[in-house]
Every structure is written in structure tokens, then in C-alpha cells.
Amino acid sequence: MSLPVTLAFCAAFLAVAILAGWRGARPPNPHRGPRMIPWRPIMVAATVGMIVFLVHAVNLLGVTTGR
């Protein structure tokens, strides 16, 4: 996977993490019913994906992160 594609995935995961963090921090509205989307686990999963792609981008730039 090339560097521009990796950075695009990083940006997409960052946008999803920010959106999910914002939606998960809003107070519940009992008139609308329960939340049907678990925003906090989505935020955590997007953050993990972003970290994985950041490590991949650093590896593409020539830094060795493994043994």
C-alpha cells in the first residue's frame, strides 16, 4: 500500500473517531428513545485503526518499528 493511500486511510479513521467522539459525548435524549449506535466503541476502533495506519506510514518512511 502506498503512502498517499495510507495517509488517506489515516485521515478517514481520524474523521470517524472525531465524529464518534462528538456523538458519544452528547447527553442522552429520553424523548427520542435509546441510542441505537454504540458511539464509544466505534471511536475506540477507529482510533486503533488510525494508530495501525500511522505505524504503517512510519514504516513506509523508512523507520524500523519491529525487531
What percent of the chain is modeled with pLDDT above 70?
100
CB proximity list for 56: less than 8 A, separation 6 or greater: 1, 6
Q: pTM surpassing 0.75?
A: yes
3's grid cell: 503512502
What's residue 50's pLDDT? 97
| Mean pLDDT in residue range 17-39 | 91
What's residue 48's pLDDT? 97
9's grid cell: 486511510
In this prediction, residue 29 has a pLDDT band, given cuts at 50, 70 and 90, of confident
The domain ranges of the chain are 3-25+35-61
Place of cell 506510514: 57
In tens, the pLDDT along 33-64 reads: 888 899 999 999 999 999 999 999 999 998 88
